[in-house]
Structure 1
Amino acid sequence: MILLHKTLFSSIAMLLLILMVRGCGSEVKGPTRYHVSGTVTFDGKPVPFGYVRFTPDDTQGNGGPQGIATIRDGKYDTAKEGKATIGGPHKVQIYGISKEAEHAGEDDPALLLPPLFPGYTTDIDLPKENTTHDFVVPVSKK
């Protein structure tokens, strides 16, 4: 009889543990996020390294978390290196540096090289689905 109670108690405890663990983290918090990928060019060439930041445009009634992606050899993808975006109007900021500058300041911040271009900002309206978007950073006239 004691063995039956121990087995029953162990089974119930295991079931409760499984239900508690399964319940933790199953709820997605925040808005649905979507991945964005594409290319970034400057002066007709792929941007070697940098990042693209997607900020929901609150002046257009769009609020939520930012998305970000690393640019490598002219390509970016929030699914590979970054955070996905929400849909709707966004302010997009693009920063690009030469490939050599990617690790230049790790040991000595004085070795940081200048950017390829001043930070570039543009507006886009992202769909509420995974999408691609290519950016052409204009060459500023001096």
Structure 2
Amino acid sequence: MPARETTGAPARAAARRERAARRMLRRRRVVAGVGAAALVAGLGGAAVFGAMADGREVPDAGAPASASPAPPAASALPTPRQTGSPAAPDPLCERAEVQRALADGDDAAVIEAAGGGEGFRRAVADEAAPCTTCATRTASGSA
């Protein structure tokens, strides 16, 4: 009589133990969830009954929250006042170093003369640099 092969038995036993462990974990999660819900319900009930025992009014859950009284209406709105005149943007094209850089065709020198990339971008966005051209500009002036 040939000997039975037992290599499959330990694997089946390990699979059974793994399934049992998963079932136990699911049960623990359900019990923890039910326990948490019961705890919340118990605390809510204790708060309601405690308020009733103290003689305080218990608000109705379906009733809208009581609104606080409206603030007094303003009799007049303040008028904004402008102090001084706004500074006119420095026209980039009137700067001598910008004119020299444009004449030389040196883009990097134009940007440097404008105060760097941020200054150049601001001048173009504020339309204070009509002497510059950008390949991405369209006839309407936007990219």
Same fold (TM over 0.5): no
TM-score by length of 2: 0.26
Which of these two proteins has the greater Rg computed from alpha carbons? 2
TM-score by length of 1: 0.26
More contact order relative to length (CA 8 Å, sep ≥ 6): 1
Which structure features the higher share of strand residues? 1
